[in-house]
Structure 1
Amino acid sequence: MGLVDFQTSLFADDTADSTVLSPERQRLSHGAWVDVQRNWLCDPDAVFSALVDRVPWRAERREMYDSVVDVPRLVHTYLAADPLPHPALTQARTALSEHYLPELGEPFVTAGCCYYRDGRDSVAWHGDTIGRGRTADTMVAIVSVGDPRRLLLRPRGGGASIALTMGHGDLVVMGGSCQRTWEHAVPKVAHSGPRMSVQFRPLNVF
């Protein structure tokens, strides 16, 4: 898979340093919160290229009503023992584990990757509640590279929603009860270039 049409040099930030974490926290309802740090990932241009070229992306299909349809994005998950496709991602995971250890009580171990090829790719409203996130507070740390896309969050059962635009090298961490009491989505848009996200999670959080 070759490099896609994304002009990384327009978005690069040489000041990004994934060893330094100083996110801004927004408190949500029901014990949920979101941390945001802009331009955090070290060398996002190189990470973008590595994700495109080195990740064994796969398309998934799912049942919907009476048919089986394509999931509108490509995916791959790196398990705890798997080497990540770029050293900056390994550095990022280590920095996240060290920073959040007092709150989380454990390291981030897995790295789920999503490839939004254009504005037609998306992810529907959901919470990461297949594993321990269904019953316990946890964290999911998302690093984004590529074209900006909106991450929407809304409380389960209704209430005011929020929108965060994730840009090239940005970090968003969803914590507390966020996976149980809130949902998140990346909606379709009319026009967008490629964007990839890496979601760092603790063990048995999906």
Structure 2
Amino acid sequence: MHDTVHLQPSLFEEAADLRLGPLDGVQRLVLGDGAWLDVLPGWLRGADQLFEQLVATVPWRAEQREMYERTVDVPRLLASYPADAEPPHPVLGEARAALSRHYAAELGEPFRTLGLCYYRDGRDSVAWHGDRIGRGARENTMVAILSVGEPRVLALRPRSGGAAVVRRPLGHGDLVVMGGSCQRTWEHAVPKTARPVGPRISIQFRPRGVA
């Protein structure tokens, strides 16, 4: 059982209404092998407020899975919202619509589903993987991630090996979008850390059939 960890608010965020910024400030990092990463720090103003509301209102679930012939706890809490479900907060519906408009020409379809991961402290993590269940295994696609709460590192590495790992601390309203062949040719992870870190929620926006 994890101890309760309290969020340390951003020193740069005033008490404010939740508000999305423009997406024209996105910076693109070309990763190679047809993959890219778009980054926009602080896209959502008031992100710490959203974090507190999601912690309190989302029906978080703990999962277990079989690993090495034993059952282990998944080291994070999860929630999911299919395309026909109302998002857990109106600003997430606004974010999905804004992302769909901004990436319409490249993606060719809207973002539809929402997935949430709650990393309570440095012991919570997600191992190296790509979102290759469904269409992501064979098609170029996009996965957008909005982070609220305290920063945690999102790490990326090529599946073929041989290149340096890319590390991006994400929290307090930061946005990243993994695009092109990223889910097929690269892997990503949120590593465990022994450093004292606060809680973070990752909100993933995906097109239909990508998981």
| TM-score bracket relative to the smaller structure | over 0.9
State the partner residue of 1:123. 126
Decide which of 133, 141, 144 is 1:141's aligned counterpart.
144
**Hey, what does 1:180 align to over in structure 2?**
184
Query: Counterpart in 1 of 2:7?
Result: 6
Instruction: Specify the alignment match of 1:84 in structure 2.
Output: 87
C-alpha contact 1:19 1:92 (8 A) present in aligned 2: no
Deviation at 1:29?
1.1
Aligned-pair identity in percent equals 61
| Partner SS, residue 94 of structure 1 | helix
1:6-53, Cα deviation, whole Å (9 max, x unpaired): 133635265984251021000011100000000001421221012101
8 Å CA contact 1:19, 1:91 repeated in 2: no
Q: Map 1:2-151 onto structure 2 (within 5 A).
A: 5-8=6-9, 10=11, 12=13, 17-21=19-23, 22-151=25-154
- Normalised to the residue count of structure 2, the TM-score between the two structures is 0.92
Q: Retained in 2: the 8 A contact 1:125–1:183?
A: yes
Contact kept? 1:43, 1:88, Cα under 8 Å: no
CA distance in 2: counterparts of 1:172 and 1:94, whole angstroms: 16
CA apart distance, 1:192? 1.1
Structure 1 pair 87–8 and aligned structure 2 pair: CA distance change class (3 A): farther
Give me the whole-angstrom Cα distance separating, in 2, the residues matched to 1:121 and 1:135. Answer: 30
| Corresponding residue for residue 157 of structure 1 | 160
Question: What does residue 196 of structure 1 align with?
Answer: 201
Q: Does structure 1 conserve the Cα–Cα contact (< 8 Å) formed by 2:30 and 2:36?
A: yes
Q: Which structure 2 segments of 5+ residues have no match?
A: none
What is the CA–CA distance in structure 2 between the aligned matches of 1:193 and 1:42, rounded to whole Å? 19
- The whole-number CA distance in structure 2 between the counterparts of 1:85 and 1:6 is 20
Matches of 1:15 and 1:164, distance apart in 2: 26
Tell me the TM-score normalised to structure 1 length.
Answer: 0.94
Read off the aligned partner of 2:20 and give its amino acid letter.
S
Structure 1 distance, partners of 2:91, 2:11, is: 20
Moved more, 18-27 or 125-134: 18-27
Alpha-carbon distance between aligned partners in 2 of 1:25 and 1:176, rounded to the nearest angstrom = 12
Q: Does the aligned pair in 2 maintain the 1:112–1:200 contact within 8 Å?
A: yes
Runs of 4+ aligned structure 1 residues displaced above 4 Å come to 13-17
RMSD: 1.7
Question: 2: CA distance between counterparts of 1:15 and 1:87?
Answer: 12
Counterpart-to-counterpart distance in 2, 1:19 and 1:166: 16
